[in-house]
Amino acid sequence: MRATSRIACLLALPLLAWTVSAQLVSARPGASVGAVQESVSEGAPAPDGEAQRPDALEIYSAVYKFRLAHAQWELGGRRGRHPAREAYPIFDDLVQRGWSWGRLWLLENLDLAGLAPSDERRRRRSLVEVLLTPTADGARPIPDASAEAALLALAEHPRDFERAEAEPWVRRTLSTYPSGRIQAAGQVALGALLDVYPDPPAGAATNGERPAQSGPDPAEQLWRGVIAGHPETAAAPLAADLLLVNVERRYRAAADAWVVRWLDAQSGADPGPHPATETWAQVESLAAAGSGRALWWMAREVRHLNLDEEELAQRRIELLDRLIEEHTDAPWLAEAVQFSEVIVSDLGLEAVERLGRGLLEGSRDPHVRAWVLHGMATIAASDDQDPESVERAIALLERLQAEYPEDRLAEAAGSWLFALRHLRPGQIPPPREALDGDGQPIRLTDLRGEVALLVFWGWWSPVAAFELARVGELAERFDQRPFTVVGINSDDDPAAARTRFDEAGYDWRNVWEGRRSGPWTQSWHVRSFPTYFLLDADGRIVAVEQDLDAIIPRLESALEG
């Protein structure tokens, strides 16, 4: 690039910062923060003894720096943590010193602040309370945008609040703000409070359980009213999301009952159509109202419709493409894209990979992108016999660590990378040494010359405890052969675990790590108990399994070899 071009790019950054971050301050697309600009003039000298109120220049400086960082983050492919993370304490300080209009930004970007869940809940509660509490003179405390955001935050997280305290805030706001946006947000918030804290039937004792509804659900009536009466507001998609939770609850019960009928169908009974066919129209209407979660449900459950293979693939692609196009920045996708065998089974491998690619290209949420990289690595690593798949998994995990180093997924990726690089069948693990219960060293190199079965186990795991007897049978069966068992125990109380082990009559050596994430367990990326590593006489890994039945024939072959 020529020097003049580089200079032009640098000069253009402030303009790009303004353009790319379309709203004045917000990190969220479409968020309402125009009030921030109007509020800059509120800076004024503080009374004696109080912290200095921020002046207009200080506020504009903080806003500009955030916009610039946000633009650079966008231009850099949205890699690394969101700039709101570092800006949050700066804006928080300005608010604490009197910049009341900044509370809206704090509320809208709370999930990007990196707070602990309990701190996030407390902060949300305090921000919503302040935003919905009128001033002493009864004047409107904030503009419509802030009232709407506070109501929507309450609706999305009703369990962060007590109904007895929050409901008066909502009703008072509804009586103060006549705009359709506020009315819609308030109705959704009321519905959320009624759904979480329902009124018991007259004279009924609920014993803490959700009371049965004898008529139309009042919360659902409020949400449906918002969808029908205020479809263009930000409250309508949230109302659809909340409705979907109840629709899914009923669907899951119906689907479980259908499975029972389907199992009985082997005797000739007709289970009838799958409940997905009856629920489809309801969920489709919620997707039309803006619910991304409804689209996600449709993409997963479309397999239950009476479609041929080609129609199913096409329909699923259409739904996923729509999800990516319309909801790629939704934070809840971090939960949805935790690719597991279940999701792959629901969607199919090709569809899951298509979703992952789309979210990597489009999502602005760092945690969503981190989960996508983690999920795609999981899929690739599932075929650990294919070198290309393993290399792809390694590349994805390295990218996760490089781009999102502070995400907890990146922190956990280190042991996974070690396992992919060194602990696959056919490889010789790096040297490892630990002490047994008598303080004597157990070294992998000392096990060579014998076939070795490393067992990661704990009495706390019912499966591992049950399988231990079978391991004991193997140790006894091959007692006269060059075979040894080494256990890596993960019980919290090593002394009690060892006593129980001795009383059961087992005699192989164990490393007593004292926790489920002990040094050996953690570094070898063991996540299931029991996990078995079978090593041949040369110290080479023959198999890594969670099922002992899959180990036994490999063990027999290794002993014969």
Q: Are strands 483-489 and 451-457 parallel, antiparallel or unpaired?
A: parallel
Reduced to 3 states (helix: H, G, I; strand: E, B; else coil), residue 380 is: helix
Domain boundaries, the chain: 2-23+53-198+218-230, 245-265+272-423, 433-560
Q: What is the dihedral of CA 178, 180, 185, 187, to 10 degrees?
A: 80
The token duo for 503 is 């009383």
pLDDT in tens, 313-334: 889 889 988 998 899 888 888 7
Residue 224 bridge partners (DSSP):
none
Answer for the pair 521, 513: CB distance below 8 angstroms, yes or no: yes
Q: Write b or e for each residue in 73-89: b if 16 or more Cβ atoms lie within 10 A of its Cβ, otherwise e.
A: bbeeebebbbbbbebbe
- Please indicate, yes or no, whether the overall pTM of this predicted structure exceeds 0.85: no
Q: How far apart are CA 159 and CA 144, in angstroms?
A: 24
Name the percent of the chain lying above pLDDT 70.
Answer: 85
**pLDDT at site 45:** 44
Average pLDDT (531-542) is 96
Q: Are strands 531-535 and 451-457 parallel, antiparallel or unpaired?
A: antiparallel
Average pLDDT (518-547) is 94
Mean pLDDT of the chain: 85
The token duo for 211 is 């009371």
pLDDT in tens, 77-114: 777 778 999 999 999 999 999 888 889 999 999 988 88
Name the CATH topology of 245-265+272-423.
1.25.40
- Class for the domain spanning 433-560: alpha beta
Contacts 24+ apart (CB under 8 A), 148-151: 148/32, 148/181, 148/182, 148/185, 148/234, 148/235, 149/31, 149/32, 149/104, 149/107, 149/108, 150/107, 151/182, 151/185, 151/186, 151/188, 151/189, 151/235
pLDDT in tens, 139-194: 555 678 889 999 999 999 999 999 999 999 999 999 988 999 999 999 999 999 99
DSSP alpha helix (H) spans, 384-461: 387-403, 408-422
Of 370, 405, 378, 407, which is closest to residue 394 (Cα–Cα)? Answer: 378
Reduced to 3 states (helix: H, G, I; strand: E, B; else coil), residue 113 is: coil
- Block residue for tokens 């690039």: 1
**pLDDT at site 215:** 65
Q: Quote the Cα angle for 416-545-478, to 5°.
A: 135
User: pLDDT class for 1, splitting at 50, 70, 90?
Assistant: very low
| Number of residues that make up the chain | 561
pLDDT in tens, 469-490: 999 999 999 999 999 999 999 9
